[in-house]
Structure 1
Amino acid sequence: MSVNPEGPSPAAVAAPGSASSPLTERHERAAAHADYRAAFNAAQTAMALVDHEGRVVSANDALGTLLGTEPAALHEQSAAELVDLTGDPRTWHAYREVLQGRSARFRCTRRLKHPDGRSLWTEVTVTPVPGRPRALVSVADVSERRELQARLRHIQMHDPVTRLPNRTLFFERLSTALEASSYEPGGTGRIGLCYLDLDGFKAVNDTLGHRVGDRLLAAVAARLTECADSDGYARSGGHLVARLGGDEFAVLVEDSMGREQLAELARSVLVALQQPFDLVGQRLSVSASIGVVERAADGTTATGLMQDADTTLYWAKADGKARWTFFDPERNAYRMTRQALSSTLRPAVERGEFALEYQPLVGMVDGVVRGVEALVRWNHPQFGTLAPNRFIGIAEEDGSIVQLGRWILRSACRQARQWQIDHPGATPLFVSVNVAVRQVWDSDLVADVAGILAETGLAPHLLQLELTESAVMGSAGRPLQALQALSDMGVRIAIDDFGTGYSNLAYLSRLPVSVLKLDGSFVRGFRYDDGTHPNPADETIVEAMVQLAHRLGLTVTAECVETAGQAERLRRIGCDTGQGWLYSRAVGPERIDGMIGVSQQAV
C-alpha cells in the first residue's frame, strides 16, 4: 500500500465563485486528492515527496520497484542515501540548497544498484514544491541512453581499422595524465612516450593496395599492444597504445619508471615489428622509426611533449630509420637555434648585422701580404658574434646565400679598392671571396661580379673567387660556363680545401682554375713542436700536389699555417702563399692597413 501524497489545498480545488455547499466542496477536494494520488502512484517515473530535511514523506510504486522494496517502507528514510547524493560534497550541497528553498532545481546522474544485481544509470532531479516545505525527487532510468552514448563515444574515440584508441582519445588521456590531480600517491610522477611510424608503409599501399595496407596496420597494432601489455613495469591500467593517423602510432606510459623502461619498451617494439608479417598470402617486412621522450609530468604540456616526440622521430629517420632515438635537449636547442637563425637571416642583411674580417695571404718567400680572404661575421642581437660555420650552411639551404653573398662580394671589393687608394705606392692586395655553388645556380653570378667590379672600380685580377673542391670538380653546364666567363673576365678562380674531396686531377687541366688551396689537414702533419715527428707521407703528397699545380700553371696556398717550422718546410717544397695564425687571425680592415707592404715572417 502506497503512502498517500499530500493533496491540493481547498482553495486550489474549489472553482472561484462556486456556489457549492461545504459538503460538496469536501467531496470535490477528496476526489481531486484521490486523482493526484492515483496519478502519482501510476507514474512510470520513480518519484518521492520529501520534507525540508530530505526525509521521504511519500513514494510511488515506480520508486519502490526501482529500489526493490514497498513504497511504504521508504517512509521517513533519507532520500539522499537512497539515491546516493551524499558521497560527493558538491552534489550534497546543491541538493541541500533546493531543500532549503535557495535553489530552483537540481539535477545529477547517479549509478545505482538494482535489487537483481544490475547496475543502473539514473538521472535524479530535485524540484521544490511551490508554497510548501516539500520537494519532489524524481529518478529516471537512463541506462539505455548511457549505453548508446558509450557506444557512440567508443566509435568516435577508436580507429576503425586497428580498433585502437584514436588521436582524439589519445590526447584526452594524455592531457588527463599531465594534470597534477591525476598523480597517484606513491607514483613516480613521470610520463613517457614512444612515438613511431612505419618505414616504407607508403610503398605497401602503393604496390599492394589499401586493403593489404589496412591489414598490415591492424597486425602492427596487435604487436604494439602485446609489447605494451608485456612491459614489466606497466601500471595496473596498462599503457595506452593509439593510432594517431596514417602509419603513426604512440605508446603512452603513465607513471614511467625512467629512461631504462622506455628504452626497453622501444627496443621490444623495434624487434617485434621487424619480424615478417604473413597477411593472406602476402609476406611483408617493415621496420619502424621511434622517437622516445621521458620526463617529469609536472611542468610538461601535451603540446610540448608531442613537439619533442615529433622532433625525436625526425631524428630517428634522419639517422637512418629502423631505430629508436631519445630526445636530446642539447640537440633540440641546436635545432631551435638553427630555426631562429634561418628565420632572421634575410632581414639581418637588410639591417646591416653582418661584417667582414680579413685574414692575410702571405708570400712564403718574403712574408709580404699578397692578398686577404674575406670572412663574414654575423653580429647577432641574441647570440652574439657568429662565425660562418654557424650560418652559411643555413643560408645555402634556404637560398638567402644569394643575397648575403652579393653583399659580401660588394663589401670586399669596395674595401680592396679602398686599400689600393690609401696605399698608392704599394702593390695592390687581391681579395678572395668564398662562393657557394647555389650562388651560381640561383643567380647570374657573372653579371653580379661584373657589375660590382664596375661599381667599386676594382680591377678583375684583384678579385679571387673560392669554391670548394667538391663543387668545382663536378662542374658541368651552367657552373662551368660561369667559371669560364669569370676567368675570361680576368677574375682568379681558387679551389678551396683541395685534397679532401674528389681529387680528380684530370679536371684540373679542363677547369679555369688559377689557385689551389691545400687543406689544413695536410699542413698540420708538418709540425715538430708538438712532440711528434711529421708524417713523411704528408710531405710527399703535398710536394707532389705542389709540383703538379705548378706544371699546370697554378699557384698554391697552404691553409692553417701555425708554426715557423711548418712555414719553412712549405716554402722549401714550393708553396707560393700561406694563410694561418702564424701570420694573423682574421682581423678588421684597419689592422690590414698596417700590414700592407710589411713582411709578416716575424709575426
Structure 2
Amino acid sequence: MDIYKLFSRRKLGIVALFLLAPLLIYLISQSQSDHFRPLVLGVGEILFSLIAIIGLWMAAKQYRQISKKYHVAWLFLLIAVLSTLVADLFWRFSSNPRFFDLFISAADVVYIFEYLCFFIAMGVFGAQQFNRIEWLKRAFDISIILIATLLAFLIFVFTPAINLLETRNNTGSFLLMLYPLADIILMFAVLAVLYFKPRKVYLTPFWLILAGFAVLCVTDYIFGLRMIKGVYSVGNMVNIGWWYSNLLLGLAGYIQYQFLNRKENTEVVLQKTTVFRKWLTSWAVYFPYMMVAWVYLLFIIYHNSDLNLTRELLTGLGAIFGLVLIRQVVVIAENRQLLSSLSRANQHLKLQTQDLRGEIEKSSIIQEKLSYDAMHDALTGLSNRVLFTNRLEHAFERIKRKPGLVYSVLFLDLDNFKSINDILGHNAGDLALIELGHRLGKCIRTVDTLARFGGDEFVILLENTEDRDVTLSVANRILVELERPFLHNEKKVTVTCSIGIVQSIHGYRTPEEVLRDVDIAMYTAKKTGKAKFEIFNIEMGTAATYQLEVEGELHRAITNKELFLQYQPIVNLANHKIVGFEALLRWQHPMRGLLEPDDFIPIAEDSGAINPIGDWVLRAACEQMVNWSKNCEESNKMFLSINLSGKQLLKSTLVESVQNILVDTGLNPRQLTLEVTENTLILDEKVVSERIAALHALGVSISVDDFGTGYSSLYNLSNFIIDEIKIDNLFAENIAPGKKNYAICGSLIQLAQKLGIRTIIEGVEEAKQLEVFASLGCDMGQGYFLARPMLASDVQFNIFEEKNFQLPT
C-alpha cells in the first residue's frame, strides 16, 4: 500500500471536515456576542496551532531513527509553529505590545523568529551536494529569480503601500509590509528546495507545506493592507487564513508520519507522478530565463509610470543581466572543463583500448593453447580421447555421405608397463611413453589419427582400409617396432603391447560402441598370450557381455546365499585313509544353474569380487571343519585345504584376515593348508615371500597347486617356504613305467621327499594311476576315482557318523 491508498472514503470525509473546521469555527464566533467572540477566536487560534504542533511533532519523532537531517528540518517547522502560538498570545494578552518607542512589538519579534525557523527548515530540506560550478549555476539562477520577485514586490506591494501610508499619515505602520516580504523570501526558500532537490517535491507532504506557506503569504498581505487602511479588527475573517496555514502544516506532518510508519517505498510513490515530474523537471531549467523576460516586461510597462521606479527597475534589470553574463561565463568554463575531461577520458580510453587489444591478443593465444591442450595429451603431444572421439564422429559422418569408405580402429595396451615404473621410476616410464608415441607415429600414415587415452593406452584410427591387409600390416609393424628395446641410462628396456582391432566401423552408431568392442578385443589379446593382436568378433562380444553380467551377479551371490562349498577327500596312498579335505567353491546360479569355479573365478579376480568371496570361503570352510571336530575326534587329525588366488595373496590385510578367522572359528592353524599356483609365486616375489612367511608363522601350511604346469622353477622350492606340492593331473594321463611323465613324476616326488615337502597327485581317475603314484612314493592323492566332492552334510553322515564310505582298494 502506498501513500495514495492511505485514505479511504471515511478518511477523506474526516479530512474534508478538518478543512472545513476553520470556516465553521469562524461562523460560530460571528454568532456569539461581543463578549464571547474573542474567546471563541482565541480557542480557534490555539486549537489549530496545536493541530500543527502535534502533526509536525509526529513527523519529527518518526524521522529521529531514520534521518537526522530531516528530523532537524521537521523540528524547525515545529519550532516555527510554536513561535506563532507564543506570538499570538503576546498579541492578544500583552498590555504593552510595543518595545518602548519603537514601531515593533514583542509579537513582531517572535513572528520574525517564526519566519527564520521556516527558512532554516527549507534550507535543510534543500541541502544537496554539488560540485563548485553546479553550485554557482544554481545560485545565479536562484538570485535571478529572487531579484525578479523583489522587483515585483516593489512594484505591486511595497510602493503602493508606502504611498497609501503617506496619504493616510500612518507611516508608523509601514513595518507591517515587511511580513509579505518575509513571505516572499520564504517562498523563495521553497523554490530553492524545488530547484536543488526536485525529487522531494513530488511527495504529498511537501505540497501541503507549500500550500500552507502560500496561504500564509496571502493572509499576511491582506492583514498588512487592512492594518494600513485602518479597517482591521479582532475577529476579522483574515484570521481564517492563519488557521488554514497551521492546519495544512499539521496535515503535512501527519501524512509524513503515516508514510514513514508504513515504510512506503518512495520509488513506488514517484512512479505515480511520472508525467508531472517530467514536466516540472523540464520547465524548472527554463524558469530563470522566464524571470529575465518577466523583468524586461516590467521595465517596459513601469519605467515611466507614476510609481517613479525607473532607477530601481534599471538597477534590477542590470543586476539580472550581469548575473546572466556571469552565469554564461561559468557555463563556458564548465564546458571547457568538460571538454578537457572528455579529452582526458578519450586519451585514457585509447590507452585502455590498446591495453584491451593486448589483453584480447593474450587471451586469444591462451584460448588457442587451452583449446590445443583440451584436445592433446600433455605428455606425448598426441591427440587425446576428446580429439580422437571427434575424429571418429567425423568418420561416421563421411561414411553416411560415402558408404563405401572403410575405417579401422586399433586399441593398444602395454604389457606389464607397471613394472617399468616400479623398477626404473616414473620418469623412465614417461620417457618410454614419449618414445613409444614417436615409434607408433612412424607406423601409420599422415591421414591416420594416433591418440593416447591416458596411462599406457593408445588408440589409432586408420582411414581408407578397404583392404584388410592394410590394418593387419600396421598392427604387425607396431609389434615389430616394439621388439626393439628402449634405452634408459644405458639400460635396455623391452616393452610389448596387446592390440585389439575393429576392422570396420560400419554398423556402429556411436564412437562409444566402437571403443567398447576394440577394448574387448585388446583384453582378449592380453588374456591369450600378450604381445599379439586380436580382431573383434561376435563371440568376443558375447563373452564380454557374459563377463559383465556375471560381475554384476557376483556381488549379490553371497547375500542371496547362492555360493556353497563342496569337500573332496584327500587320501593317504599308503594306508588308503582320508587325511583331509579340499574345499571347492560352487555357485548355484538361479538362471544359469550350477557353475564350476572356472566359470566365474577368473571374472571375480578381474572385477575385484574375489576378495570378499575368498574371505567368505575361508571362514565358512574353517567353521565347518570345527563343527566336524566337535562331533568326531577323528577329524582333529585331518587338514583342510583351501585355494588362494593371486589377488588374495597380494592383499595387504590377508595375514590379518586369516588370523582373525582362525581366532573366531577356533580352528587349529596346523589343520589349515592354503593352496597357491606357481604363477602366483612370480607376481611380486618380495611381497609373496613375505606373505607366505607370515602365514607359515601362524602355523598355516602352504601348498603349490598345479605344480609343473606354470612357471615351474626349482628355485621356487628353495626360495619360498613350501610344505606341499600338488602334481597336476596332466602328468597322470597314460602314466606308465618307461614314459617321460613317469620319469618326471618320479624325480619330482624324490626331490620333494629330500626337501621334506609332501606330495599330492590330483585328478586320479583310474586304479592304474593310483597304483603307479603309490609305487613312486607319492604321499597323497585325490580325484574322482578316490572320492567325488560332497556337501558338508554328506561328509558328516557318510564319513564321520555312519562310516559307510568306502575307498577303492
Bin for the TM-score computed over the shorter chain: 0.5 to 0.7
Equivalent position of 2:741 in the other structure = 538
**Aligned match for 1:422, one of 631, 636, 639:** 631
Contact 1:270–1:322 (CA under 8 A) maintained in structure 2: no
Alignment deviations for residues 429-451 of structure 1 (CA, whole Å, 9 cap, x no partner): 32111123433432433332332
- Inter-partner Cα distance in structure 2 for 1:456 and 1:204: 51
- In 2, the alpha carbon distance for the partners of 1:443 and 1:424 equals 35
The equivalent of 1:379 in structure 2 is: 588
Is 1:196 the equivalent of 2:410? Answer: yes
2:671 partner amino acid: L
**Residue 250 of structure 1 pairs with residue 466 of structure 2:** no
- The answer to whether residue 375 in structure 2 is matched with residue 171 in structure 1 is no
Structure 1 pair 430–266 and aligned structure 2 pair: CA distance change class (3 A): same
Deviations 1:113-163 (A, max 9, x none): xxxxxxxxxxxxxxxxxxxxxxxxxxxxxxxxxxxxxxxxxxxxxx9999x
Shift of 1:582: 0.4
SS across alignment from 1:538? helix
In the aligned structure 2, how far is the partner of 1:486 from the partner of 1:271?
46
C-alpha RMSD of the superposition: 4.7
Q: Distance in 2 between matches of 1:475 and 1:492?
A: 20
Match of 2:468 among 263, 266, 272: 263
Change (3 A) 1:198 1:569: closer
C-alpha distance after superposition, 1:333-367 (max 9, x if no partner): 22232233334434433443321111110121332
Instruction: Give, in whole Å, the separation in 1 of the partners of 2:388 and 2:700.
Output: 63
Deviations for 1:463-492, whole angstroms, at most 9, x for unmatched residues?
111122344578865543443343344322
Q: Deviations over 1:24-72 (max 9, x none)?
A: xxxxxxxxxxxxxxxxxxxxxxxxxxxxxxxxxxxxxxxxxxxxxxxxx
Percent same amino acid at aligned positions? Answer: 29
**Counterpart-to-counterpart distance in 2, 1:439 and 1:171:** 42
Question: TM-score scaled to structure 1, two decimals?
Answer: 0.54
Check the 8 A contact 1:194/1:250 in 2, yes or no.
yes
1:598–1:565 distance in 2 versus 1, CA, 3 Å: farther
Question: Equivalents in 1 of 2:477, 2:781: separation in Å?
Answer: 58
1:333 corresponds to which of 534, 542, 545: 542
- Structure 1 CA distance, aligned partners of 2:661 and 2:412? 52
Write out aligned runs for 1:87-236 (5 A). 168=390, 170-171=392-393, 174=396, 177=399, 192-196=406-410, 206=434, 220-222=444-446
The answer to whether residue 805 in structure 2 is matched with residue 602 in structure 1 is no
Q: Note the C-alpha offset of 1:587.
A: 2.4
The offset of 1:318, in angstroms, is 7.6
Specify the alignment match of 2:571 in structure 1: 362
Match of 2:502 among 292, 299, 303: 292
CA contact (8 A) 1:262 1:294 kept: no
Does residue 1:557 correspond to 2:557, yes or no?
A: no
Q: Aligned residues, how many?
A: 395
Give the secondary structure class of the aligned counterpart of 1:357: strand
**Equivalent pair of 1:167/1:242 in contact (CA under 8 Å):** no
Pick from 593, 606, 609: which aligns with 1:400?
A: 609
Larger Rg: 2
The alpha carbon displacement at 1:314 in A equals 6.1
Amino acid corresponding to residue 582 of structure 2 in structure 1: E
SS in 1 for 2:615: helix
Q: Structure 1's 517 and 323: CA in aligned 2 closer, same or farther, altered over 3 A? A: closer
* Cα distance between partner residues in 2 of 1:581 and 1:275: 47
Within the candidate set 564, 569, 584, 2:787 is matched to 584
Aligned to 1:547: 750
User: Would the aligned equivalents of 2:760 and 2:781 in 1 still touch at CA under 8 Å?
Assistant: yes
Equivalence for 1:8: none
Residue 407 of structure 1, CA deviation: 0.9
Structure 2: gaps spanning 5 or more residues: 1-374, 415-429, 482-495
Shift of 1:561: 0.6
Does residue 720 of structure 2 align to residue 516 of structure 1? no
Give unmatched runs, 5+ long, in structure 1.
1-158, 184-188, 225-240, 277-285, 527-532
C-alpha separation in 1, matches of 2:721 and 2:476: 55
CA distance in 1, matches of 2:604, 2:698: 27
Cα deviation 1:7-33 (Å, max 9, x = unaligned): xxxxxxxxxxxxxxxxxxxxxxxxxxx
2-side partners of 1:399 and 1:249: how far apart? 30
1:353 counterpart residue number: 562
How much does 1:380 deviate? 3.5
Give per-residue Cα distances to partners, 1:535-554, cap 9 Å, x unaligned: 52322222222223223333
Instruction: State the alpha-carbon separation in 1 of the partners of residues 474 and 728 from structure 2.
Output: 46
Greater share of strand residues, 1 or 2? 1
> 1:551, 1:322 → 2: CA distance?
40
SS in 2 for 1:439: helix
Please tell me whether residue 575 in structure 1 is matched to residue 778 in structure 2. Answer: yes
Residues 396-431 of structure 1, C-alpha deviation per residue, up to 9 Å, x if partnerless?
Answer: 344433322211111001111222223346665321
After superposition, what is the alpha-carbon deviation per residue over 1:280-314, rounded to whole angstroms, capped at 9, x for unaligned? Answer: xxxxxx999672345874x9666534533454466
Residue 293 of structure 1 contacts residue 309 of structure 1 at CA under 8 Å; is this kept in 2? no
Q: 1:446 aligned to 2:649?
A: no
- Using the TM superposition, give the Cα deviation of residue 563 of structure 1 relative to its aligned residue in structure 2, in angstroms: 0.1
